[in-house]
Amino acid sequence: MKRRLWKFCQPYSLLMVLSMIPSVTGHAMSITVSPIRVEHNVPPGGSITEAITISNDDTSPAHIRVRVEDWSLSQDGAITFAKAGSQPYSASPWIRVNPREFALAPGQSQEVRYSLSVPKDATPGGYRAAIIVANIPPPSPGEKQRRVMLEGRIATILYETVGRPVPSGEITGLSFKMDPEGKATFTISFENTGQVHIRTRGEITIRDRAGKEVLKAPLPDFPILPQSRRHFTIAVKEDLPAGEYVAELIMDIGRKELLAGERRFSVRQ
């Protein structure tokens, strides 16, 4: 593979289980959803039907509602949810779920099927949606519906790749610092300039002044959404003796060529 290299100068030496918010009975509810992440490749005009499983691991009954929403990530990886169809690259309008509301007795599980139909004129790219599972206490008999309901929720995250979009992006930063415990920490900045999500694959290799490999650290498996930027940190567990080093970053984003970045840094006593 070919490599594209960025050099960075520096002046100084990333099965879901959720304990939901307290219910009206005063204790937390425990609901599980599986799977928590699904990725599909679907052609324009294509469709799929699959299912998720929702389980009540609590000793109290649960009242479940299921809906589809958009979601996004901040540059630091924090997830946010939004109204279906309100975000770029939304697949939410293409998805239908069934059943949408049901009760779950303690220890009971329920399969929820979802169908996705991609429009024939959909532009090739990476789209996304979230199937939100919410536990909402139903009103007691004779009680009026509350305006504000206590709600705990979890989600299955969907990545829908339509067609064969070409991934594209660049490393925009590679910084170094020593943490309070004296461990080397690297922060990688990446910009996804393409139309499909990318998952971080690669490693950082640290070499000493003579070019000898000192250690190697894999990149965490993080998503970087289309047309977005992401910062993520790698903490090196091993101690580095005082000296001059070079950090070599290699990233594979699914293209023929690898992306590479380089940072020289010093460790002082």
Residue 147's CB is within 10 A of a number of other CB atoms, namely 5
* Fold match, 16-162 / 166-267: yes
What element of type H or E holds 145?
none
Torsion sign across C-alpha atoms 101, 107, 108, 110:
positive
State how far the Cα of 26 lies from the Cα of 241, in Å rounded to an integer: 53
Q: What is the pLDDT of residues 114-158, one digit of tens each?
A: 999 999 999 999 999 999 999 887 656 655 544 344 457 899 999
pLDDT tens per residue across span 223-233: 999 999 999 99
**Burial annotation 20-59 (CB, 10 A radius, 16+ → b, else e):** beebeeeeebbbbbeeeeeebebeeebeeeeebebbbbbe
β-pair type (95-98, 109-117):
antiparallel
CB 21 within 8 A of CB 151: yes
pTM over 0.85: no
pLDDT at 224: 96
Higher-confidence residue: 180 or 63? 63
DSSP at 92: G
Q: Using an 8 Å Cβ cutoff, are 262 and 174 in contact? A: yes
Amino acid at 115: S
104 CB-near residues (< 8 Å, 6+ apart): 31, 54, 55, 56, 61, 62, 63, 64, 110
Q: Is-contact 33 154, C-beta < 8 A?
A: yes
* Cβ-contact 192, 230 below 8 angstroms: yes
Q: Where do the structural domains in the chain lie, given as residue ranges? A: 16-162, 166-267
Does the domain at residues 166-267 carry the CATH identifier 2.60.40.2360? yes
Q: Kindly report, residue by residue over 69-87, the tens digit of the pLDDT.
A: 999 999 988 999 999 999 9
DSSP 143-163: PPPPSS---EEEEEEEEEEES
The band of 172, judged by pLDDT with boundaries at 50, 70 and 90, is: very high
Predicted pLDDT at 211: 94
Q: What is the mean pLDDT of residues 25-46?
A: 84
Per-residue confidence (pLDDT) for residue 223, from 0 to 100: 94
Q: Which CATH class is domain 16-162?
A: mainly beta
Average the pLDDT over each of 138-142, 187-191, 197-201 and give the range with the smallest value.
138-142
What pLDDT, on the 0 to 100 scale, is given for residue 214? Answer: 94
